[in-house]
Structure 1
Amino acid sequence: MFVGSNSSRRFWYFGMVCLLAFSLAITGCTPSDQPSAQTDGKWQITATTGMVADIVARVGGDKVNVTHLMGPGVDPHLYKASQGDIKRIEQADLIFYSGLHLEGKMVDILEKIGKQKPVKAVTAGIPENMLLSNPASPQAFDPHVWFDVSLWMKAVEQARADLVAFDPANQSVYEANASKYLKELEELHQYAITQLATIPQEQRVLVTAHDAFGYFGRAYGVEVLGLQGISTASEYGLKDVQTLVDTLVSRKIKAVFIESSIPKQSIEAVVQGAAAKNHTVVIGGELFSDAMGAPGTPEGTYIGMVRHNVDTIVKALK
């Protein structure tokens, strides 16, 4: 116990309080400077779309906690980040997005955050000669690469490389997880090839609300027609509807498809237009295009989503 005059004791207590306050200030600053994995053993990762989150969760395994911003039915082309999204991005150790301007309005935010922490595009490793151009913007590429499973495998490899670079101590874990997932995706790719080949070639025509299935068509031998362009930010008008209707009538195409992330009114207008010309067109089912299904369902995973799309298309067109 400190012994001395009252003034000395007051000075001593004042000094101890200042020292304690300084210590707490230093301690309080430490967690923000350290990755959250130091406290719960897992990296906190934020992804934009469900497809990207699926990759990171599969490759990262039990070393990561993954959240994503865009849930079922959300259109990434038009998505605007909320304050909650900004908070999740700021609190993440690492951020993954799809890239090729899929996220549209979020690109600026991601670029700014990238100056403070790692922000990675899973499509960064895909060679340009494997990408499809965007007719509306010759200098840009079609971002819907996940519809070609073999291309999406390259996105898995990119995510694996980014995780290893970020956390080299767990390289063996990420490589093992990626290897297992890639084998599953190779099987999925072969499944799509086999199933879609059962549709007679002249009937292998996929008509949807927007032109998101270009890679799918190229990979699996399907002709693709879309009412809107590659991005849903593009507008369509009466002339676009009429042009598509004329194509359906002249080629006797009998099924079109709606998409989970786009209002179905556009395709319904095409169906009605065909009916006005005495040609019956049915809606062959709902496809998942820019968003996966609900969490906990088969379609809430990338593999389940692709299988659902393939099975729905085969059933309607075969």
Structure 2
Amino acid sequence: MNLRARTARVRALLLTLISCFVVAGTATGCTSGDDRPRIVVTTNILGDITREIVGDEVDVTVLMKPDADPHSFGLSAVQAAELENADLIVYNGLGLEENVLRHVKAAEESGVAAFAAGPAADPLTFRTGDEGGPAGESGEPDPHFWTDPDRVRKAAGLIADRVVEHVGGVDEKTVRENARRYDTRLAELTAWMEKSFAAVPEDRRALVTNHHVFGYLADRFGFRVIGAVVPSGTTLASPSSSDLKSLTRAMDRAGVRTVFVDSSQPTRLTEVLREEMGGDVAVVPLYSESLTEKGKGAGTYLEMMRANTSAMTEGLTGR
């Protein structure tokens, strides 16, 4: 732990002690703070990956709740303070957590170690549509790298490196073994996805989503990105009527009648698209940007990717 992070930890403990004196004599009482190493992770997908790597060696705090939108979730004052008291911050780093980045930056400036997973995972630029010519690219990096499990393998290995480097008190052998075991499971996931997607004929390997989120999956597994209902990499944007008309034309040209939408996002715009196309559109829900609560379909990254692969294969083949 560096000097500034240690100072922030001492300050947090002092505040805890003061609170203990204030509430002394109440029924709840107060216990002393614990000095276990801690990692703070912004998104729940990265949080699950980090927990797989550190196991019981480190306390991991995940800021983003299940089923939340990473583009729009914000922090409380307590959560912002947790960033400044961390031994290590793990975050996307490609503009995904739009309302959280200033807090991450402030913590970094105070001396907290931070790892941006996205820039380390060979980022792509946004692909805005493949039909009618070369794919358009906005020039902005696409933060949704987790839809390619091979990139997650790279990011996971680097998270393990940063934990060993910056988080005092961890057992390096345990962290490395956890990372090795998880890497094997990710490699098995990639092989299973390849086998599953092999059932999708070439002429049906076309994706339309509620916003641009599966560019990495398309690049890795040989799909075409036709377009998105919200023609942006963020859910905070809004489509115009001309955007929807352009998308319906692209879908007609490609013979696409399936739209994949995030299960946690409103479907109003997708319903408008369905009406534009005379009702002849299947809407298939996916877990694209957030994990769910445990037992709700996508409680882990591995579970999310398997569920999405099955839903996409069935949605594109009619099986």
TM over 0.5: yes
Q: C-alpha displacement at 1:109, in angstroms?
A: 1.3
SS, match of residue 80 in structure 1? coil
Measured against aligned partners, the alpha-carbon deviations of 1:46-100 in whole angstroms (never above 9, x if no partner) come to 2111111011101111112222111222221222222242243244332211111
Deviation by residue 1:266-310 (Cα, 9 ceiling, x = unmatched): 2111111101xxx61111x21111111223445110000000100
Ranges in structure 2 where 5+ consecutive residues have no aligned partner: 1-9, 16-31, 129-136
Q: Distance in 1 between matches of 2:253 and 2:206?
A: 13
CA contact (8 A) 1:93 1:118 kept: yes
Cα distance in 1 for partners of 2:14, 2:216 equals 42
Q: Does 1:251 align with 2:254?
A: yes
CA pair 190-135 structure 1, distance change in 2 beyond 3 A: closer
Paired residue for 1:273? 276
Q: CA RMSD in A?
A: 2.4
Cα distance, 1:41–1:188 mapped onto 2, change above 3 Å: farther
Between stretches 38-47 and 253-262, larger displacement belongs to 38-47
**C-alpha distance after superposition, 1:95-115 (max 9, x if no partner):** 211111111232111111112
Superposed, 1:82-161 pairs within 5 Å as 82-116=76-110, 117-126=112-121, 130-134=122-126, 140-161=140-161
- 2:235 paired with 1:232: yes
User: Secondary structure, in 3 states, of the residue corresponding to 2:298?
Assistant: helix
SS at match of 1:270: helix
Is the 2:52–2:178 contact (alpha carbons within 8 Å) kept by the matching residues of 1?
yes
Equivalences for residues 142-181 of structure 1 within 5 A:
142-167=142-167, 170-181=171-182
C-alpha contact (below 8 Å) 2:40/2:82 kept by paired residues: yes
* Structure 1 residue 131, shift from structure 2 partner: 2.1
Q: Which moved more, 1:206-215 or 1:256-265?
A: 256-265
- Mean Cα deviation higher: 220-229 or 140-149: 220-229
Deviation at 1:122, TM superposition (A): 2.1
Q: In the superposition, relative to structure 1, how do residues 179 and 298 fare at CA in structure 2: closer, same or farther (>3 Å)?
A: farther
Map of 1:7 onto structure 2: none
Specify which of 50, 56, 66 is matched with residue 60 of structure 2: 66
Q: Distance in 1 between matches of 2:140 and 2:12?
A: 42
- The residue matched to 1:257 in structure 2 has which SS? strand
Letter aligned with residue 125 of structure 1: A
Q: What CA distance in whole angstroms lies between the structure 2 residues aligned with 1:234 and 1:288? A: 19
- Secondary structure of the 1:299 match is coil
Return 172-181 or 232-241, whichever deviates more. 232-241
| Residue 246 of structure 1, CA deviation | 1.9
State the distance in 2 between where 1:142 and 1:273 align. 29
Match of 2:199 in 1: 198
User: Matches of 1:308 and 1:265 in 2, distance apart?
Assistant: 23
Give the letter for the 2:211 counterpart.
H
CA distance in 1, matches of 2:209, 2:99: 24
Is the 1:72–1:294 contact (alpha carbons within 8 Å) kept by the matching residues of 2? yes
Shift of 1:44: 2.2
Residue of structure 1 equivalent to 2:27: none
TM-score, normalization: structure 1? Answer: 0.81
CA distance in structure 2 between the aligned counterparts of 1:122 and 1:227, rounded to whole angstroms: 27
- The CA deviation at 1:135 is 6.3
Displacement of 1:40: 4.9
- Cα distance in 2 for residues equivalent to 1:298 and 1:218: 25
Shift of 1:195: 0.5
What is the identity percentage for the equivalent residue pairs of Structure 1 and Structure 2?
27
Q: Distance between the aligned counterparts of 2:301 and 2:159, measured in 1?
A: 15
Q: Secondary structure at the match of 1:160?
A: helix
Kindly indicate whether residue 44 of structure 2 is the aligned counterpart of residue 43 of structure 1: no
For the pair 1:182 / 2:208, whether they are aligned, the reply is no
Query: Equivalents in 1 of 2:77, 2:263: separation in Å?
Result: 25
Aligned to 1:291: 290
Q: Counterpart of 1:131 in structure 2: which amino acid? A: P
Which aligned pairs between 1:302-317 and structure 2 lie closer than 5 A? Answer: 302-317=301-316
Indicate the structure with greater helix content. Answer: 1
State the Cα distance separating 1:43 from its structure 2 match.
2.1
